[in-house]
Amino acid sequence: MPWHLLATEHRRAMLQAGMFALFCAGAAAAEPVPVETLAEGDVDRGIIDEIVVVANKHERSRRDITANVSIFSAEDFQFELSSSIADVFRYAPGIDYESDRSRFGSESINIRGIAGNRVAILMDGVPVSDQFDVGSFSNATRDIVNAGFVEQIEVLHGPASALYGSSAIGGVVAMRTVDPQHLSGSRGQGGQVFSNWHAADSSVSATAMQAFAAGPVAVLAGLSATSGQESEAKAADANLDLRDFDSRSALLKIVADDAWGNTWRASLYHRESDVQSDAQSMLGSGRFRSTTALLGDDAYATDIVSAEYRFAGGGQLADDGIVRAWYQASDFEQKTRDERTLAPRPVAIDRLFAFEQRATGLEANLQKTFSTGNADHLLSYGFEARRRKTEEYRDGLETGLDDLQQTNVLLGEVFPLRDFPVSTTSEWGAFVEETITIDRWAFTAALRADHYEMRPSVDSMYAEDYPFAQPVSIAEFELSPKAGLIYHVTDASEVYLQYSHGFRAPPYEDANISLELPLFNIRAVPNPDLRSEKSDGFDLGARWRGAGSSAHVSLFRTRYTDFIESKVRLGPDPETGRILFQSQNIAAAVIEGVEAGGTVDLATIGTGLSLDGGLFVARGENLDSGEPLNSVGPPQAVASINWQSPGGSLRTSLRGIFTDDWSARDQSGGQLFEAPGYAVFDLYLAWRAGPSLTVRAAATNLSDRTYWAWTDVRGLAPDDPVIPYLSHPGRSFSVGIDMTW
């Protein structure tokens, strides 16, 4: 192993030793588990009513929402030994985590074929930082949330701008971290420690949380750490792309109830990550034919501070509501060393990419109920203000390995440089939503008004690099309506229809994209005429709930107009002869498909048996060219058979993932690698060895199948040398342990 990858070996050894000690201590404390009972009402009806927040920004029963929402709980994460948010969506058809498995890891979340900054990701109501990448050596990702601190994730499928504004044209992922009361309960104090080990990437993760409560005040403090290396690749004898990663996270929460029944909450979240990489699979081919070493050294840090006030008790303007203020800071620094010892003049090229974003926000959401005649009204309204400052630059230096001469000019680019000017984005939005219920019918209408401003700030670095560029400011106003109708066929079933409008204002990286490559006669310029992306989506769905069973199906169709495509070739500039590139709006696109899922209680066959399943089938089309959209993946399905002992001390699940081959793609620009279809089976086991101890184990890819996730190989040619190393691991094992007190 290269010297620069040895730095984290000591920390990994410490984590492994700590996990072993925790396992031994827990095993010594094991004792029989008392039988847990359900609440009397649940026993009588056998139906559990799930509460959803993301669909309306307030707690609503799932039966009262006109959208498809997926819910993932901490119990699910821990049973599946999830060490990252990407692991959480393994069994969620239609929700994919896009990633660069060779260096940068998880990048963004794809919902119904829409990903990146078009999907809003919230942590305790706070938007996470933007994703931005340029070239092969720079990628600021959105993987900043530690799964160990998350209590629940809700995913809203489809456009949601009527409540969440410009960033939610593709959907919303809302994550809620653990509250002190979750651990302390009525005892006044409580804690949890859990740790997982995965053989596939030799990773170890450990999370510890402690909560205290004294009167109306409760405090939670948590620490988490993860350490691992490159994942195994079944299609390769050994993974040549070495990767060593470490992350450390901390969470502090203070919750206080006042004398009037209102709740004050303050939280502080910090995460930092370090990744060292040694990419060897590409060496000696293509643009890296003279490269003998390609090393990466990446560091990320994120801080989120928030304060919120929840009130209840009634009033003329609102029955209850929440006011939240927050601050978020994210920093990315990525260093790359490219040693070209086989070049006619041997050189070493050192590159630096830095991305920084600072954001502040204020939000208020209020709710009021009232009645008129035989109609019940639920009125929600609120506002949101958000301000972001984004700064990015790249630097580079070429050094001759023999003559030691240096230059900051690479491929004609003069470093340091910016890919867009320092940009400040301001967003203001206000929304109103009303649900009117009459007997078994419920009608929901919502409207949000958004004002978006993006202003560039040209500094000396940008002005010197692009004297020809004229950065543009963006000012947009948009109205986003939503309308939904529910008919409750019975108390346990309903059908719904929803229309929702979405929009996304032109972002800074597209409006003012800048590039100058004299060596290749290429120039990218800002676009003052860039328009907002818009969408119009329809959902038709049905849900049913029974005793321990449930089912849902949703048909959807969303039409997108003025989609922004980055770096579109315009042709030669008549004045300079440069080949111009610019971000442009494309005509239109459509994505349509079906989502379905359900659970069946097999109590008549055997106590504790159940079946789960899910399905996603969709197609996307560029209506301008008639070609498929490569952001929409192949048909996916999951199925599992589960068993739990009467006392709940044993739980096991056999799960299958079924994915069709990815053949419906746009290959007009060249042939692409076709990820073959596959069926993969996983086995999970959890044993509650004592009232405070649970041991878990998993065996994934039981049949040792060679397969690729379509998001990992999208856009790659069939002969790309990196493809074998992007395959997923073969048969692999994981173990975990969880202690509570």
**Residue written as tokens 């390609």?**
294
d(CA 402, CA 568): 40
pLDDT tens column, 714-725: 888 999 888 999
Residue 288 near residue 728, CB atoms below 8 Å: no
Q: Determine phi and psi for 464, rounding to 5 degrees.
A: -70, -35
pLDDT at 286: 82
Copy the structure tokens of residue 552. Answer: 């849902």
370: burial class by Cβ within 10 Å (0-12, 13-18, 19+)? exposed
pLDDT at 625: 87
d(CA 591, CA 659): 19
Exposed e or buried b per residue across 374-403, where buried means at least 16 C-beta atoms within 10 angstroms of its C-beta: eeeebbbbbebbbebebbbbbebbbeeeee
pLDDT at 6: 41
DSSP string, 483-510: EEEEEEEETTEEEEEEEEEEEEPPPHHH
Domain boundaries, the chain: 3-740
Copy the structure tokens of residue 87. Answer: 């692991």
Which residues, at least 6 apart from 318, have a Cβ–Cβ distance to it below 8 Å?
311, 366, 367, 368
**Long-range contacts of residues 516-522, Cβ cutoff 8 Å, at least 24 apart:** 516/412, 516/413, 516/465, 516/466, 517/411, 517/412, 517/413, 518/412, 519/411, 519/412, 520/411, 520/412, 521/577, 521/578, 521/579, 522/578, 522/579, 522/581
The ranges of the chain with pLDDT < 70 are 1-48
**Cα radius of gyration rounded to whole Å, the chain:** 26
pLDDT at 46: 56
d(CA 88, CA 105): 15
Fold of domain 3-740: Maltoporin; Chain A (2.40.170)
d(CA 267, CA 283): 46
Copy the structure tokens of residue 519. Answer: 């060596």
Which residues, at least 6 apart from 520, have a Cβ–Cβ distance to it below 8 Å?
411, 412
pLDDT at 47: 67
pLDDT at 4: 44
pLDDT at 83: 86
Among 245, 250, 248, 244, smallest CA distance to 268 is for: 250
Single-letter amino acid, residue 268 = L
pLDDT at 16: 45
Q: Give the angle 490-496-497 at the CA atoms, nearest 5°.
A: 160
